[in-house]
């Protein structure tokens, strides 16, 4: 039985009529209004700044008080914040990569220029 035929057969048995697979591409989610997008970008910058400050404070604390009873908790919080920062960095880089791929798909002639301008994705 070919792929999708089982679902059609099941639909025919349950609903009494065949169901055709949609050949249309999935719909794009609705665009976020520019005002909301600006607020989101601003809040993300605030969060990143607060996270960077938290990382610095924890690193300073651990350097200044290595024998503190709170060392384990401070290390755990530092690991959490560092992981969150790495995740945010990954999402930023992946978004830039996806934008580059989408642009290249629309206009193949721009791919070399975009790749050169992007400077690769191994570093900032």
Q: Tell me the pLDDT tens digit for each residue of 14-63.
A: 555 555 555 556 667 778 898 999 999 999 999 999 999 999 999 999 99
What residues contact residue 118 under an 8 Å CB cut-off, 6+ apart? 96, 100
Q: Specify the residue for token string 């009494």.
A: 16
Can you tell me the distance from the alpha carbon of 109 to that of 79, in angstroms, rounded to the nearest whole number?
Answer: 43
Nearest Cα neighbor of 88 from 53, 40, 44, 42 is: 44
Q: What is the pLDDT of residue 17?
A: 52
Provide the 10 A C-beta neighbour count for residue 58.
20
User: 39 with 47: CB under 8 angstroms?
Assistant: no
Tokens standing for residue 2: 């070919």
Q: What are phi and psi of 101, to 5 degrees?
A: -60, -45
Q: What percent of the chain has pLDDT over 70?
A: 73
pTM of the model: 0.62
């Amino acid at each position: 039985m070919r792929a999708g035929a089982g679902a059609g057969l099941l639909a025919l048995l349950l609903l009494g009529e065949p169901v055709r697979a949609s050949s249309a591409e999935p719909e794009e989610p609705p665009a976020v209004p520019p005002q909301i997008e600006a607020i989101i970008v601003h809040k993300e910058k605030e969060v990143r700044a607060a996270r960077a400050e938290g990382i610095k404070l924890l690193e300073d604390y651990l350097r200044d008080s290595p024998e503190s009873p709170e060392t384990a908790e401070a290390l755990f919080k530092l690991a959490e914040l560092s992981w969150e920062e790495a995740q945010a960095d990954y999402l930023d880089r992946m978004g830039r990569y996806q934008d580059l791929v989408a642009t290249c798909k629309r206009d193949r002639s721009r791919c070399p220029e975009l790749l050169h301008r992007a400077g690769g994705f191994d570093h900032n």
